[in-house]
Structure 1
Amino acid sequence: MSTQEAAWLAWYLCAVSLLLTAFGLVFLVASQSLVSAPVYDYWLLNTVMAVSFSPVGALIAPRLPPRNPIGWLFCAIGLFGAMRLFAAEYAIATLLAVPGSWLSALPGGEALAWVSSWVWVVHFGPFLFLALLFPDGRLPSIRWRPFASLVALVVGGGAVAVALWPETAARFDAVNSPLGIEVAANVINPVETILYALALTAAASLLVRLIRSKGIERQQVEWFAYAVVLLAISTTLAYVVSEAMDVRWLGWISSVLVIASIVGLPVAMSIAILRYRLYQIDSLINRTLVYGSLTAVLALVYFCTIVVFQRVLIVLTGQEPTLAVVASTLVIAALFNPLRRRIQSFIDRRFYRRKYDARKTLETFSAQLRDETDLDALSNGLVGVVRETMQPAHVSLWLRPEPASKGERAL
């Protein structure tokens, strides 16, 4: 697959994830007043995974070597999160809505209820392999191959077992799996236990990699390792300890930690890329951050100015003239370059401190050039600038002597 084809595929998966998320949230909102009973459906967790992982995966997947699947794992996490959200919200909206409402008339609710019952098992797979393969796409050592095979076997077998389970889900009492087999029900609890054990082991593999790594590689791994360990601990507290102890407040706090640690994974990836030059695509991420932030700020300013101008003009003229749109457009045009420079400066200051300091040093030296006339002072200043910005092992300055005039050569 060429780089261009990989880019098209990655952004296509990202678009599908975001569209499924949007439609899932639409059904969530639409069903609030029509569903007869509240259902806890993990909508916030799934939304966070879809929105935070998909764009990061689309950015990095086409730019990594073909043997490094980290970007595609990010795409898969985002896509499965979106599938979980859409399938669950559509099923809830159509199967649990008040009879006679427009939602209850929509088709396919039972099929998506069945999908939502087993896709969470498949969703475990990319998370586990992400911890095993980050950052170079290889296992920490050859000894981890049996564990990787076990992960694939448990995830695949567990998804099949849950799909064959006669009861689709407890929240859909009237829905049964179309492939229901009674024996599969005996596999559910062992699959959950084994998956959590595998998750803790995968997190431990990242700690092993962190201990063995040195220099810049260690700095690239440590932020991601901290996020994975926090995710493993918070998941254990949320779904194992809190249920075993039946402590409600611990479950709520742990759930918040789970969401925060999941967001921490793409954040840690961004820090490794921007600050420690992971994958050497920091310039692309820089532009994405700058223009993404710029677009968001300008859209907010545009919306606010339209609202403000319309209200002012309604008070003054008693109608809604198109002048508000024209004025808002002019404001956006005037703010574009100043905002872009400020956002670029902020991102450079936060993530490209060395580049930011070097630019400040050059600006200071440029100001000195305008006023300084002493050659020795300028020479020392130039050497200092080169030493501070380029940080060479040794720096020296050689000035070519001024050639003698004809009269001096004759003497």
Structure 2
Amino acid sequence: MKNRQTRLAVGLAVASAVLVLVGTAAALSTEIRLSRSEGSIWALISFVIPIAAFSAVGGVIAVRRPGNPIGWLLAAIGLLFAIVVASAGISVWALETGSLPRAAAEWISVAPNAWVIALGLIGIQLPLRVPDGTLPSPRWRWFSRLSILLIAVSVVGMAVQPGEVEGVPGTANPLGVESLAWLPAVFFGVLLCFVVALVALVLRYLGADSRERVQLRWIAFGGVLFFVVYFVTLLLVEALGEGTAAADVLISISQAAFAALPISIGYAMLRHRLYDIDVVINRALVYGGLTLTLGAAYLGLVLVAGLAVGRSSDLAIAGSTLAVAALFRPARSRIQALVDRRFFRRRYDAALTLASFSGRLRDEIDLEHLGDDLRGVVQETVQPAHVSLWLRSHS
């Protein structure tokens, strides 16, 4: 049984890899043939990263925890995204080159609607079942079944939507049915299910034990990291303008950041360095804030110096760079203290307690008072169940 599950997990990963390679090759061939921008090519390549992450992490979890459906869900998501990439790339390539009969290419162009299933699994089934693979309670079973029904209806609705196939201009949907043009509106019900699934995840967290809470924090960290990168990218692309080289790079980064979700789920499920999550979140907040602070300082200094000594002056850029470099350590210390004070209060209080104890230690000469003080510091910072102090005699 174990060997069969291992072969199935490996088979799903290999199938995803083959589909991604074929679809990417076809899409790249079309992009180059049509002399598209480098940005669209890099965006296509960057989307391969999260697909590989879903497939690889799903395969590993399925092999290590075959009884937990989370691994199989991740592997299925990777396979579905691979189908999207492969079918989209092959259909456009076939229509542009005429390498396949047009009817066959048009039918293949409908397959990218599999993204609806993948998105439904990510937004509904994963939040309902992480980290142990079960629903929060039997009462959620009806909701899970309803969401699956809505996803299925949405896929059918998009498959039979009349008009041109999205992403393939000039190609009519061979499955289009005018009388069912309203059916894709069911997808709004799927979006509502996303919200309900997140509520279920919060309720699970509130009722979880300490280990499960740490697992859920890992998963939440991956999801929040992706959304932060995605929305910051949207704002920057809007400011820089679409089509610019910088905007293309940012779009590629935001797509690659989607891999943070399956990777964080893998950390949570396999429990590798599980309790490092607070350190990871702390570092992310500190260095994220530091990057924004130094970036804003650099832009401000360049603008001010440019107005003073000339817009294109290398001296203004060099001076701004040196100033930002000098700000790095004090800014990091300030931001670290702010993060500890606001979000990691226990660590901040412990640091203050130890600093205060170090100051008193220099002036204390009474061994009994020193022992009482030391036990109090240990009790306050570490909070053990019992504290004992052993002193070695001079003899």
Please report the TM-score for the alignment, with normalisation by the length of structure 1. 0.56
For residues 6 and 146 of structure 1, the distance between their equivalents in structure 2, rounded to whole angstroms, comes to: 28
CA RMSD of aligned residues (A): 3.6
Distance 1:133 1:45, change over 3 A: farther
Alignment pair present for 1:25 and 2:24: yes
Q: Name the structure 1 match of 2:273.
A: 275
Following superposition, the deviation at residue 202 of structure 1 comes to 2.1
Deviations, residues 181-234 of structure 1 (Å, cap 9, x unaligned): 11222122x234333332233233222222222222211121102323555677
Q: Does 2:98 align with 1:104?
A: yes
Name the structure 2 match of 1:43.
44
Distance 2:62 2:6 in 1: 7
Partners of 1:221 and 1:37 in 2: how far apart? 42
Name the residue aligned to 1:283: none
CA contact (8 A) 1:164 1:177 kept: yes
Match of 1:122 among 117, 121, 124: 117
Aligned equivalents of 1:147, 1:77: Cα separation in 2: 20
Counting only pairs closer than 5 Å after superposition, residues 123-162 of structure 1 correspond to structure 2 as 123-127=118-122, 128-162=124-158
State the shift of 1:65 in Å: 4.8
**Aligned with residue 211 of structure 2, among 213, 216, 235:** 216
Structure 2 match to 1:187: 183
Bigger relative contact order, structure 1 or 2, given CA contacts below 8 A and separation 6+?
A: 2
SS at match of 1:176: coil
CA contact (8 A) 1:35 1:93 kept: no
Distance apart, 1:173 and its partner CA = 3.4
Change (3 A) 1:138 1:156: same
Deviation at residue 142 of structure 1 after TM alignment: 2.8
Task: Give 1:257 shift.
Answer: 7.5
Contact preservation (8 Å) 2:73, 2:121:
yes
Q: Structure 1's 21 and 143: CA in aligned 2 closer, same or farther, altered over 3 A?
A: same
Counterpart of 2:195 in structure 1: which amino acid?
Answer: L
- Number of the residue aligned with 1:178: 174
Question: How high is the sequence identity, in percent, across the aligned residues?
Answer: 27
CA distance in 2 between partners of 1:22 and 1:32 (Å): 15
Counterpart residue number, 2:364:
none
**Residues 1:81 and 2:81 are matched in the alignment:** yes
Structure 2 unaligned runs (5+)?
276-385, 387-395
Structure 1 stretches of 4+ moved >4 Å: 36-42, 229-239, 251-258
Residue 87 of structure 1: how far off its partner (Å): 0.7
Residue type of the partner of 2:73? L
Give CA-to-partner distance per residue, 1:325-377, whole Å, 9 cap, x none: xxxxxxxxxxxxxxxxxxxxxxxxxxxxxxxxxxxxxxxxxxxxxxxxxxxxx
Change beyond 3 A, Cα 1:147–1:226: farther
Change (3 A) 1:192 1:37: farther
Contact preservation (8 Å) 1:224, 1:268: yes
How has the CA–CA distance of structure 1 residues 141 and 44 changed in structure 2, closer, same or farther, with 3 Å as cutoff? Answer: farther
**Alpha-carbon offset, residue 45 of structure 1:** 6.1
SS in 1 for 2:135: coil
Code of the residue aligned with 1:7 in structure 2: it is T
Aligned residues: 266
Q: Deviations over 1:137-192 (max 9, x none)?
A: 1112233223212210111111111111123523323322332211222122x234
1:261 to 1:32, Cα distance in 2 relative to 1, 3 A: closer
Please state whether the residue corresponding to 2:182 is helix, strand or coil. Answer: helix
Equivalent pair of 2:161/2:180 in contact (CA under 8 Å)? yes
Q: CA deviation at 1:110?
A: 1.4
Instruction: Answer yes or no: is 1:8 the counterpart of 2:7.
Output: yes
Bigger CA radius of gyration: 1
Aligned-partner residue type, residue 158 of structure 1: S
In structure 1, distance between residues paired with 2:254 and 2:127 = 16
Query: Under a length normalisation based on structure 2, what TM-score does the superposition of the two structures give?
Result: 0.58
Deviations 1:269-315 (A, max 9, x none): 233221139xxxxxxxxxxxxxxxxxxxxxxxxxxxxxxxxxxxxxx
Do 2:164 and 2:170's aligned partners in 1 also have CA atoms closer than 8 Å? no
Give the alignment of 1:300-319 within 5 angstroms. none
Task: Give the secondary structure class of the aligned counterpart of 2:32.
Answer: coil
> Deviation string for 1:41-68 (max 9, x for gaps)?
97346422321111111111133253x2
Which residue identity lines up with residue 82 of structure 2 in the other structure? Answer: A
> Is the contact between residue 46 and residue 82 of structure 1 (CA under 8 Å) also seen in structure 2?
no
The whole-number CA distance in structure 1 between the counterparts of 2:71 and 2:180 is: 34
Q: Secondary structure at the match of 2:33?
A: coil
SS at match of 2:31: coil
Is the Cα contact below 8 Å between 2:13 and 2:55 reproduced in 1?
yes
Structure 1 unaligned segments of length 5 or more: list them.
98-102, 278-392, 394-411
- Please say if residues 116 and 151 of structure 2, whose CA atoms lie closer than 8 Å, have aligned partners that are also in contact: yes
Aligned equivalents of 2:140, 2:155: Cα separation in 1 = 23
Q: Would the aligned equivalents of 1:200 and 1:232 in 2 still touch at CA under 8 Å?
A: no
Are the equivalent residues in 2 in contact too, given 1:13–1:54 (CA < 8 A)? Answer: yes
